[in-house]
Structure 1
């Protein structure tokens, strides 16, 4: 049994979504932000003292997108394709982590995460500009196709849409990126995404 440690209101949301897409049985072990993340038992799974973490038999993993790649590999095609498309999945997953997420989080921290008195409008604007530059790239990649790699949904879509979920849910202006907006709607209204969102968005 796959065991996911975290709370749906964290990056563990991405892993819940991926497990649902993969059709794999899993158990969510509730672990929120707080001292539990620094407990010795959890540090054995994630020495960074963060969430999420995963156990799959003898394997322990941290980093949400690495966990997702593992889950997709267990499911196999089409979620994790073979050949060159497997390399493209890795490319877009790393792009999500290194290019998209830093800009998205710069915007998020200074728009809705930090208390209002601690937000920096200049940092929010810089984050928005950085995110828009990455969305320009994504807009061009999508073109007339439905998904990142073409006409088949893969874990690359799950990973990138998972990174963009916070911006989407908090009304980042996607008006100039109509293909991205339509793609995010497709991603986030899939049955697996709705199952994960039901946990994430619960009161």
Structure 2
């Protein structure tokens, strides 16, 4: 059975969403980020990314991690690509061309969108969005995102999803990255096709299930 180590309020959400899409039975092992604890090494600390048992599994001390049939994977996007490829179905590549496109879109989002989008999330998580420095950080991140948003906006003129008219693991990967910027409503309003595409992705029952479990977790 597939085991997913991590909490829903982390990049593990990508693995949980995909497992739901594929209808996979899985065991969830909650591992929280050590930064959320006053003392992650305390005797009564919950299992976290600094716990010896977890570090033995992933020396990089990051979530998510999956285990399946003796394979251990520790990068969230590698995990989603692996699960889709292994378990097949319409979310996976139909041929080598689609496999290349899925990889291209995923790497594009990870390098061109995620760094700036994460800065937005971090600013809000720190409660700094209303400070002068925080507003400047968010404004700079939004400016950095404009080109990528415009690129996807143009592509979606003739396509419902990034591989055409079929939702795939590439859309899931991108949607989870673009979600980091959702606090910036004006950015999405300037790119209505991106906004509509993300809404389509997030309307899927598997996403709704994942998000309900995420919301049920302690903040």
Give the TM-score taking structure 2 as reference length. 0.86
Secondary structure of the corresponding residue to residue 4 of structure 1: strand
Partner of 1:53: 65
* CA displacement 1:162-190 (0-9 Å, x = unmatched): 1122322x354211111100000000010
Partner of 1:154: 168
The separation in 1 between residues aligned to 2:29 and 2:166, in whole angstroms, is: 31
Unaligned runs of 5+ in 2: 35-39, 41-47
**Contact 1:103 1:128 survives alignment (8 Å):** yes
* CA displacement 1:105-142 (0-9 Å, x = unmatched): 122222x1113269532221110111122111111121
Per mean C-alpha deviation after superposition, the further-off stretch among 25-34 and 83-92 is: 25-34
**Contact 1:17 1:193 survives alignment (8 Å):** yes
The separation in 2 between residues aligned to 1:134 and 1:171, in whole angstroms, is: 15
Unaligned runs of 5+ in 1: none
Partner of 1:2: 2
The separation in 1 between residues aligned to 2:8 and 2:153, in whole angstroms, is: 28
Secondary structure of the corresponding residue to residue 140 of structure 1: helix
Give the TM-score taking structure 1 as reference length. 0.93
Partner of 1:63: 75
Tell me the number of residue pairs that the alignment of Structure 1 and Structure 2 aligns.
Answer: 201
**Contact 2:120 2:180 survives alignment (8 Å):** no
Partner of 1:38: 50
